[in-house]
Structure 1
Amino acid sequence: MSGTVRPTRLRALLHGPEDRRQRLLTQATIVNTVGMGMFMSVGTIFLIRFAGLDPAEVGVGLTVGSLAGLGAGVLIGDLADRRGAREVVIAALVLEAVGSAGLLLVHNLWSLIAVSAVAAVGSGGTSSARGAMIGVLAEAGKGARLRSYLRAVTNVGLAIGTLTAAVGLHIDTRPAYILLIVTDAVTFVLAAAILSRLPHLPPTRVKSTGSTGKERRWIAVRDRHYLSLTVAASVASLQYWVLIQALPVWIVLKTDAPHSMAALALFLGSVIVAALQVPATRSIDGPRSAARLVALSGPLFLIAWIMMAMSAGPSAWIAVVLLLLGVLVHSLAEVWQAGGSFELSFALARPEAQGQYQGVMGMGHSLVAAVAPAIVITLCIDGGTYGWIVLAVVVAVAGFACALIERNWGRSRHPVPGSPEMQT
């Protein structure tokens, strides 16, 4: 029986959703994420090697530029809710293309800040407006399935982009880096072109007024349950930076494993996540099951990171085994947390304002992303084994907080008869 199930799943993954509009969104997503995978691997190296900036300037420029774009996702997401998501997503993708190509013009700190700010505005806008688009295109009762599929193809795209970038890194010349950056910019344009084939998507939100007669526009920033979820989910997202930032440095500086394990761990993690994304989150059928997976991911991260910490000291082959096992467990935990958090970010949002809500969630993740490298490297590298454990506890507590927030949200929507909520 298993011999027939796996090919069927593979064909389903390659073919995509049956709905044409969902299929176009899927195609745009995988094209876009291939470019993202390239940029993640070569962008910083290009700036240091060929733009004349030192590492400190690159760090400051990218951080300040990202912060300059903070909040743009909320504004652009609200625009998508009120005007229709299709045109807004296309415009944001074109802005990202400009930001990506602009890297080739960077020659000092200020130009880097300007370019990264443009890219940050485009990225925040794409993320939030795309959230509004997903909300419109998801079939009734099947939103979790579409979101799970999009997460899977996202990881496939990132893996392809990472492998492509590895070729450029091996060649290690300025023309090779320029080609990768130009290709990244082109992927944004291609994704926009694919989405242009979609019909206009009607706005999901019309003016709503309260007792005062004034429009209640910024509903997402007044939703205490969603704001609490944003804080908890953003803190839990620190886990993303372990494989990207902490583990490669740990492998090179603290273990006897081959240095190539630093690249292999990131690639292996991307492949495992892409393979597990759909089957491992198949149980998600609503916010309660999503919250359960987020909570369960915490203990798995603790196990994974203890194994990674233990890789310092033993012989090379034992270190490699521990690292591989750690990456495997980490990847499963990541799938559970990412899938559950993604579902909660939609389930706890008001359907007519998905763009605005996704902008709020994106702003929280952007804030954490700005400080995450410093946090994970300080704890894991400087803190040693205890630092790994502390980080795992923080992420686990944040995951449990997400589950508690979902439970309180559910009670507020469906109060128990006789409870104070029902009486009021």
Structure 2
Amino acid sequence: MLTRILPPPGPARLLTVITMVMSLGQGLWMAINAVYAVTVVRLTPGELGISLGVAAAIVLLSSIPLGHLADRAGPRTVQMWSFLALGPLTAALLFVNGFWSYLIVSSVQAIAYRAGNNARKAMIAGLVPKADRVGVLAYVRAAQNVSVAIGACLAGLALAAGSVPGYRAAVLFTALTFLVTGALTAMEAPVPPVPASAGAAFAVLRDVPFLMFTALDGLLVTHALLLDVVLPLWVLQHTDAPRWMSAAILLVNTAFVVAFQVRAARGTGEPKAAAWASLQGAGCVSVACVVFALSDGASLVPACLLLVAGALVQALGEVRQAAGSWTIAFELAPDHAQGQYQGTYKMGGDIGKMFAPALFAWLVLGHGALGWIVLALAYTGLGAAMPVVVARGARMRSGVREVAAAGN
């Protein structure tokens, strides 16, 4: 197992170990946050929804400035202090006692987490040679899936106990993982900050091809919500499969990513190949949607078989699309502005998550198999547009580099 999730010794291994520690806390907190807020803090579901929405909007607006901060202050510094701050910010949730205090703490917590996340991508760009970045990110993603799964299992123990002390212990454990993440970051090699004279503060906002890629990729990665949001309800309302089938689907996805993400990233080290990998990934997700559509009204055994088959095809699409997007996000970004570009790249997924759950539920749960077919066509169109957009961005980036070389 370790050979699949840890790269060879070097900076990449420490990057991966840090991600594992961070993701352990992330997986635990993702699984217990809503229950803690409603059970211990005594928020209503509506207040929780407002708090999460406000925090998401703040993170969306601050993502580019936080990425720019990583460029100017140095990504290791920003990452280290962000996660060191996340420790006490998470522990502060033990003392919140209502809507407003929860809103404030969770919003600041979300900003710190995004700052550290943006800085991690800039760290990878600064510490890992271009030829090795996609491979390293594949190891990182496999390790992240393992840690998130372990964190979710720990959360399951706390949820099974159902006691307030157990929930508070989970909060403290999460805070500890963030503190350890910050401390381990201090052991990483520093990446020098970029001087202000290297380029405009928010040059990414004028980079149309990169913004188009961000929008396309943000729409493509909404396929993850199919497993998290849509399929659990689909299983209950449209098939005769047992309720636990949605958990089995998530387990299949996690195991597939851990086993095949590194292998799926091979051959995606340059923009053209990466764009085709994204197209292939989108095609697989489209096929998975068609397979899920076939499970509409299916009896027990056929429904289970179709759901697992769809989950496997979707997982293959996920690992190929992810590998392609990593290369594109790095290669279309100038070296002096990786922080702000990676922060912008993260915004695409944020925007997709804001509207996709409601739209997907309306399409699939409201219109059955037809909704799945519409999604299949949409993902096919998004994937087909990716090579065109990336080719334009690569030509633009190549022209910029030629002008810079001529000026030197």
* Structure-2-length-normalised TM-score: 0.91
Which whole-Å CA distance do the structure 1 matches of 2:282 and 2:330 have between them?
21
- In structure 2, the residue matched to 1:165 is 155
Task: After TM superposition, give the deviation of residue 67 of structure 1 in Å.
Answer: 0.6
2:348 to 349, 355, 364: 364
**CA spacing shift, 1:241–1:11, aligned 2, 3 Å:** closer
1:179-213 CA distance string (max 9 Å, x none): 222222211111111111124321244513xxxxx
- AA aligned to 1:234 is G
Residue 92, structure 1, aligned to residue 76, structure 2: no
Amino acid at match of 1:97: G
**Unmatched 5+ stretches in structure 1:** 1-9, 209-214, 416-424
Structure-1 separation of matches of 2:322 and 2:340 = 20
Would the alpha carbon gap of residues 254 and 96 (structure 1) be closer, same or farther in structure 2, given more than 3 Å must change?
farther
Distance 1:264 1:228 in 2: 35
| Equivalent position amino acid for 2:34 in 1 | T
CA contact (8 A) 2:264 2:320 kept: yes
SS at match of 1:197: coil
How many Å separate the matches in 1 of 2:273 and 2:191? 30
Q: Which residue in the other structure is 2:30 paired with?
A: 40
1:49 aligns with 39
1:62·1:112 contact (CA, 8 Å) conserved in 2?
Answer: no
C-alpha distance after superposition, 1:366-413 (max 9, x if no partner)? 222223322222222223211122223223322222221111123334
Q: How does 1:110-149 map to 2 (within 5 A)?
A: 110-149=100-139
- Of 235, 240, 261, the residue aligned with 1:277 is 261
Do residues 184 (structure 1) and 168 (structure 2) align?
no
Does the 8 Å contact 1:257/1:319 carry over to 2? yes
Q: Distance in 1 between matches of 2:356 and 2:178?
A: 26
| Aligned equivalent of 1:212 | none
Letter in 2 for 1:257: A
Counterpart position of 2:248: 264
Residues 182 and 349 (structure 1), Cα distance of their counterparts in 2 relative to 1, 3 Å cut: same
Name the SS of the counterpart of 1:69 in structure 2.
helix
Deviation, 1:64, is: 1.2
**Closer, same or farther: CA 382–14 of 1 in aligned 2, 3 Å:** closer
Cα 1:104–1:195 shift into 2, 3 Å: same
Deviation, 1:31, is 0.7
Residue 6 of structure 2 contacts residue 139 of structure 2 at CA under 8 Å; is this kept in 1?
no
Question: Which among 292, 310, 316 is matched to residue 308 of structure 1?
Answer: 292
Structure 2 gap ranges (5+): 400-408
Show the 5 A alignment for 1:390-401.
390-401=374-385
Are 1:378 and 2:362 matched, yes or no? yes
Structure 2 matches for 1:398-413, cutoff 5 A? 398-413=382-397
Q: Does 1:249 align with 2:239?
A: no
Aligned to 1:343: 327
What is the aligned partner in structure 2 of residue 13 from structure 1?
4
Contact 1:124 1:362 in 2 (8 A): no
**2:21 matched to which residue of 1?**
31
One-letter amino acid of the counterpart of residue 345, structure 2:
M
CA contact (8 A) 2:332 2:397 kept: no
Structure 1 residue identity aligned to 2:3:
A
Match for residue 80 of structure 1? Answer: 70
State the match for 2:307 in structure 1. Answer: 323
RMSD of aligned alpha carbons: 2.0
Contact kept? 1:238, 1:376, Cα under 8 Å: no
Task: Return the letter of the residue paired with 2:366.
Answer: D
Identity value in percent? 32
How far is the alpha carbon of 1:106 from its aligned partner? 4.0
Letter in 1 for 2:21: V
1:352 paired residue number:
336
Taking the TM superposition and a 5 Å limit, the aligned residue runs for 1:96-107 are 96-107=86-97
**Count of residue pairs brought into register by the alignment:** 399
AA in 2 matched with 1:287: P
Superposed displacement of residue 69, structure 1 = 2.6
Contact 1:90 1:195 in 2 (8 A): yes
Q: Which residue of 2 aligns with 1:334?
A: 318
Query: Structure 1 191/61 Cα, relative in aligned 2: closer, same or farther at 3 Å?
Result: same
> In terms of mean alpha carbon deviation, does 393-402 or 121-130 score higher?
393-402
> How many angstroms does 1:14 deviate by?
5.2
Match of 2:188, SS state, is coil
2:131 counterpart letter in structure 1: G
**Residues 334-393 of structure 1 deviation map (CA, whole Å, 9 limit, x = unaligned):** 111111112211111111110010111122322222233222222222232111222232
Q: What is the rounded CA distance, in whole Å, between the counterparts of 1:46 and 1:249 in structure 2?
A: 23
Contact persistence 2:64–2:341 (CA under 8 A): yes
- Counterpart AA for 1:349: A
Q: CA deviation at 1:62?
A: 0.3
Q: Which amino acid aligns with 1:145?
A: G
* Maintained 8 Å contact 2:5/2:139: no
How many angstroms apart in 1 are the aligned matches of 2:381 and 2:85? 37
Change (3 A) 1:306 1:101: farther
TM-score by length of 1: 0.88
Partner of residue 421, structure 1: none
